[in-house]
Amino acid sequence: MFKSIKKNVVALVICLSIVAGGTAWAIDLGNILGDLAGVIGGGFLVSTVAKPLNDFINTITLNKGAKVEGHTKVVPIVSIGSGTRIGAAQVAGPKGASIESTKAVAQIEATFMDRLRVEILVPIDSENPIQRFRRVQGVGVSAIIDFKL
């Protein structure tokens, strides 16, 4: 019985080799899919923990005597430049349209005089800065959250 199964498997492998035996093209999707999964997973993680994380940060700043006067919320950080990262930021501003329209913080990386690494954090009104990139006026970054992977 096992000999007939073995023969059938060998025959199937030979047939598949003949049928699909042309030139094979390979595309390395590992980095692309990994980055995409990280961004999607990171955005989901930020949206899941945004409210409790915001409350946690506000409690700490209140206890340390550094309470934010205004409203706060936690949004994802989207990197513009080298690499994909998962992170979040707490933004603060007056209640109203400006804090409500803030959807993410854009992180722009640059080098100054070949010696200083500069990270610029800009509250923006979109989670996709490649399609649209508008700064939200009157809103600032009050905390940075890094996720340990």
Half-sphere exposure of 27 (CA within 13 A, CB side): 3
119 is a domain residue: yes
Residue 18's pLDDT is 54
109 is a domain residue: yes
92 is a domain residue: yes
55 is a domain residue: yes
- Point out the least confidently predicted range of 35-39, 49-53, 101-105, 142-146: 35-39
**What is the per-residue pLDDT across 101-126, written as a single tens digit (0 to 9) for each?**
999 999 888 899 999 999 999 999 98
Residue 86 is part of which domain span? 29-146
Bridge partners (DSSP) of residue 109 are 119
Q: Does residue 131 have a pLDDT over 50?
A: yes
**What is the per-residue pLDDT across 10-39, written as a single tens digit (0 to 9) for each?**
565 565 455 444 444 444 444 444 444 444
68 is a domain residue: yes
Residue 35's pLDDT is 44
Residue 139's pLDDT is 95
Residue 8's pLDDT is 63
- The winner for highest mean pLDDT among 32-36, 80-84, 86-90 is 86-90
Q: What is the pTM of this model?
A: 0.66
DSSP annotation string for 56-92: HHHHHHHHTT---SSEEEEEEEEEESSS---EEEEEE
* Total tally of structural domains belonging to the chain: 1
Task: Fill in the DSSP letter of residue 14.
Answer: H
131 is a domain residue: yes
18 is a domain residue: no
Residue 84's pLDDT is 55
**pLDDT bracket for residue 3 (50, 70, 90):** low
4 is a domain residue: no
